[in-house]
Amino acid sequence: MNDMNNILSSKAQISQYTHDTAEMPGSSVSTSHQAFEQLVSRAVQLPGQVPVGIVWPCEQHALEGAMDAAQRNIIEPVLIGDKGTITSVAQASGIALDKAVFIDAATPAEAAQKATALVREGRVKALMKGSLHTDIFMHAIVEADSGLRTNRRISHVFVLAVPGYEDLVFVTDAAINIFPDLDVKRDIVQNAIDLHNGLGLGAPRVAILSAVETVNSKIPGTVDAACLCKMAERGQIQGGVLDGPLAMDNAVSVEAAKIKNIVSPVAGRAQILVAPDLEAGNMLAKNMIFMSGADSAGIVLGASVPVLLTSRANSVQARLASIAIGALYAHHLAGGQG
């Protein structure tokens, strides 16, 4: 695939971050969702606080979410940035910093570089974006020599609590990979499955979405969907149950699946929705947030540690849910050790 199609292949591609997940607001119209509350409760019960690097938390929104999670004993916040600025923001906002560890950095870029170094040294188990630009933050993470890349493609998952839907819904990838090919889609699917299992939500039902539920050679996404399902049958994707192609209605509506005579353990009950490309995934996630009143949290997967992207527009509930998800998954990746 041409490098221009995949955002994380080089430094130049970081500037193609066409959708900044940190600017995606959490829903302001939906109430707190029980599923998110349960994740937060479980994070509170972890045996020991998870050390999380908060990169350049130099505005109130970036600082208060982390310190709220620290007060609840979910994380040990490692604040990476200009200490004087952070302290001033905290004083002006009435935020207590008694639980924080400081790593001084003069610029956002330096803070991002120091954050990745702390991961490599094992001092932090997750990273969270503060008030720096996403491209600066992500560049440090994906940098070939000093970043946090693994042999898995990096991808993003929106975790959505949709009113009226029984399960949490994962939407991927709506933020990073623009036109993923089949190999990238395999990693996108596996990343989401691993997160679902790692959060203790069980083996997920995964719908590979398209406009139709039949394979059509003129719609490449349907062919990729069929291939991904066969890859799962052959063990190339593990930990979840896949079906596709499925149209959106067949993926989440039992009645719609019945009308189309689709017999499947996934149809009508999907927990992970895999979009054919970034545009489709982005529109799907925004539709759920703005029109369905879904609460949202987000996480970047495929790096050596979970990476959290939050926004000044996120509600307190959304910020806390994102941090809880990051802490739970970091604990899982560390082997469940306290």
The number of folded domains in the chain is: 2
Residue at 164 is within a domain? yes
Residue at 260 is within a domain? yes
Contact between 240 and 207 under an 8 Å Cβ cutoff? The reply is no
Give the per-residue pLDDT at 7.
Answer: 41
Give the per-residue pLDDT at 313.
Answer: 64
The whole domain housing 255 covers 155-298
- One domain, residues 75 and 200: no
Listed in sequence order, the residues at least 6 apart from 156 whose beta carbon sits closer than 8 Å to its beta carbon are: 21, 172, 173, 174, 175, 176, 298, 299, 300, 301, 309
Label residue 151 exposed, middle or buried (CB < 10 Å: 0-12, 13-18, 19+): exposed
- One domain, residues 169 and 224: yes
- One domain, residues 169 and 218: yes
- One domain, residues 100 and 198: no
Give the per-residue pLDDT at 320.
Answer: 86
Residue at 202 is within a domain? yes
- One domain, residues 133 and 181: no
Contact between 50 and 305 under an 8 Å Cβ cutoff? The reply is no
Give the per-residue pLDDT at 336.
Answer: 67
- pLDDT values of the chain reduced to their tens digit, one per residue, 338 residues: 444 344 444 444 344 333 444 444 444 434 446 888 899 999 999 999 999 999 999 999 889 889 999 999 999 999 999 999 999 999 999 999 998 999 999 999 999 999 999 999 999 999 999 999 989 999 999 998 888 999 999 999 999 999 989 899 999 999 999 999 999 999 999 999 999 999 999 999 999 999 999 999 999 999 999 999 999 999 999 999 999 999 999 999 999 999 999 999 999 999 999 999 999 999 999 999 999 999 899 999 999 999 998 766 666 677 888 999 999 999 999 886 44
Give the per-residue pLDDT at 65.
Answer: 87
Rounded CA separation 222/213 (Å) = 8
Q: What is the CATH number of the domain that holds 231?
A: 3.40.718.10
- One domain, residues 84 and 188: no
Q: Which of 98, 67, 102, 70 minimizes the C-alpha distance to 83?
A: 102
| 184 phi, psi to nearest 5 deg | -65, -40
Residue at 32 is within a domain? no
Q: What is the CATH number of the domain that holds 124?
A: 3.40.50.10950
* Whether the model pTM is above 0.85: yes
Residue at 218 is within a domain? yes
